[in-house]
Chains A and B, each alone.
Chain A
Amino acid sequence: MTFLELLQENPLSTSVRESLLMYPIILTLHGIGMGFLVGLNAMLDLRLLGFAPAVPLPSMERFFPVMWAGLAINAVTGLILLAASATTLLTDPVMYFKLTMVAAALVVLGVIRGSLGRFGASFGAARARGAALGAASLTFWTLAIVAGRLTAYTFFRFWN
């Protein structure tokens, strides 16, 4: 039995796959977590790009706990969904692309979080750097959503 089969063919993973309720509930939570994490992050990005300029950037710090809650929900539900279908999802290059994009978006979010106070001055180099981070974040999240949706399809299954 390979590692992926072991991940997939154990009582925990099987229960998620075969239970009438578990799979749809976990998938639903994954969608809600995405809405709050990516949605609020996108608003932060748009602000960094110059929209709604009257919103003080440091004040948006208070949205971070909501984003971290979304991330926690999606990390847990995402790992469960991966384990439940390990042999298909973890052999799909699209899934690895998605995970890379999510990781990149989270690194960018961490960088934005670290210098939120410094973006307060809405001009000069700080502003340009903020806009670049916002654009990178929107790009990574969009690609993550595109790839996440496409894992349901088989166009890009190059092997197996």
Chain B
Amino acid sequence: MELLNNFIADAVAAVLAFQRATGFPAWVNDHSAVWPVGEILHFVGLCLLIGAVGGFDLRLMGVAKAVPVGALSRLLPWGVLGFVLCAATGTMFVLGNAFAPGEYLRNVAFLWKMAFLGAAGLNLLLFYVSGTARQVQALGAGAETPLLAKAVGGFSLFLWVGVIVFGRLLPTLGDAF
């Protein structure tokens, strides 16, 4: 726990140092279009991510079995694009907040969001390292997925929905500690 608190304190200090060195929050504050445009791109990214990754997860879980898995995986780069959009704009929100520096990093909803994000990353790693990703590539229309693929798909869907939930709760849970 102390380790986490120290890490957060260091992260807040780093954000503050960046903000002072660059004046980035003042720039964001002076350009009223930056924040809403960032939010729009964050939401567009969310849709691409849930559409591509969530759709693939559903197929892994056994929904839409008629879709050949390898063919569907060709849509995954759109999910990566969505993730990049969200990561870039999300970083901008953390670094560009002029009013309460460090507000996000100390926010318990933000910490849960990052924890779910990290778990989604590990889940993805498991999908590739276990060889499941390669195994499902060959599965055609109607083919049943292996149990591990179902588990990885279900867990992925759960984790990404969790990321949305905690993102939406950022203003509600506030500075909880």
Asked if B9 is at the interface (CB within 8 A of a chain A CB), the reply is: no
Q: Which residue of A lies closest to B160 (CB)?
A: A35
A12 / chain B contacts, CB cutoff of 8 Å: none
Contacts known (A55-B74, A66-B58, A149-B43); A39 close to B64, Cβ less than 8 A: no
Q: How many A-B residue pairs have CB under 8 A?
A: 118
B165 / chain A contacts, CB cutoff of 8 Å: 28, 32
A63 / chain B contacts, CB cutoff of 8 Å: 55, 58, 63-64
> Among A2-10, A42-50, A80-88, which stretch is in contact with chain B?
A42-50
Whether B74 and A35, one on each chain, are in contact in the complex, defined by CB atoms closer than 8 angstroms, is no
Interface size of A by CB at 8 A reads: 39
> Among B15-23, B65-73, B91-99, B144-152, which stretch is in contact with chain A?
B65-73
Asked if B54 is at the interface (CB within 8 A of a chain A CB), the reply is: yes
B167 / chain A contacts, CB cutoff of 8 Å: 31
A47 / chain B contacts, CB cutoff of 8 Å: 75
Whether B58 and A24, one on each chain, are in contact in the complex, defined by CB atoms closer than 8 angstroms, is no
Residues B36-93 near A (CB distance < 8 A) = 36, 39-40, 43-44, 46-52, 54-55, 58, 63-68, 70-72, 74-75, 78
Asked if A36 is at the interface (CB within 8 A of a chain B CB), the reply is: yes
Subset of 23 A-B contacts with CB under 8 Å: A28-B164, A28-B165, A32-B164, A35-B47, A36-B54, A38-B47, A39-B51, A39-B55, A43-B51, A43-B78, A46-B78, A55-B67, A56-B71, A58-B66, A61-B66, A62-B64, A62-B66, A63-B55, A141-B47, A145-B43, A145-B47, A153-B36, A155-B32
Given A32-B164, A39-B49, A39-B50, 7 more contacts at CB 8 Å?
A27-B168, A35-B54, A38-B47, A39-B46, A39-B54, A149-B36, A155-B32
